């Protein structure tokens, strides 16, 4: 996992001629090299990255989690505790729908089961995946994205 504070420290070193270190740290070596060789794109790169630093760190952490899943190391440790679903909330409805499907659900199934807006369901499922509550897989034959909730799978 990449730490925001450390990314900001590396970013700040760009002010003393070591531009791009934060990009190397966040897994973007080519743009890091470009920043290093062009003095942070003439300083413009520092301003752009100051605005988008949180997103850069989130993207790097998402890629880290995805690579772990590809290597079969399971889902990443929980970054944030998942809030308790309140009865009637979209999260609660999604978890209930997944539980009726042996702990796995597609986006279309979730929209149909909850009656919620497609974008809202997609956003909530993505948030659950980022928290490590859901694991994302693709159906072997169709390639459809499946959100699997290991805690909701029926055992034995």
Would you kindly state where each structural domain of the chain is located, as residue ranges?
Answer: 4-70, 90-152
- Closest by CA position to 73, among listed 143, 132, 146, 139: 132
Task: Give the pLDDT score at 76.
Answer: 46
pLDDT one digit per residue (tens) for the chain, 156 residues: 899 999 999 999 998 889 999 999 999 999 999 999 998 999 999 999 999 999 999 999 888 888 887 777 655 444 445 555 666 789 889 988 998 999 999 999 999 999 999 999 999 998 888 888 888 888 888 888 899 998 888 765
Contact call for residues 71 and 64 (beta carbons, < 8 A): no
Task: Give the pLDDT score at 83.
Answer: 56
Task: Give the pLDDT score at 81.
Answer: 52
CATH number of 90-152: 1.10.10.10
Contact call for residues 104 and 149 (beta carbons, < 8 A): yes
């Amino acid at each position: 996992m990449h730490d925001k504070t450390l990314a900001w420290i590396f970013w700040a070193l760009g002010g003393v001629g070591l531009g791009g270190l934060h990009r190397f740290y966040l897994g973007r070596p080519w743009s890091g090299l470009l920043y290093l060789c062009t003095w942070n794109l003439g300083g413009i790169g520092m301003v752009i990255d100051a605005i988008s630093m949180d997103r850069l760190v989130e993207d790097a952490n998402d890629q880290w989690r995805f690579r772990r899943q590809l290597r079969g190391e399971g889902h990443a440790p929980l970054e944030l505790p998942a809030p308790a679903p309140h009865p009637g909330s979209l999260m609660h409805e999604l978890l209930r729908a997944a539980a009726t499907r042996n702990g796995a659900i597609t986006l279309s199934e979730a929209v149909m089961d909850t009656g919620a807006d497609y974008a809202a369901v997609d956003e909530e499922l993505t948030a659950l995946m980022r928290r490590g509550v859901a694991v994302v897989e693709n159906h072997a034959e169709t390639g459809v994205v499946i959100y699997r909730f290991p805690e909701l799978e029926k055992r034995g």
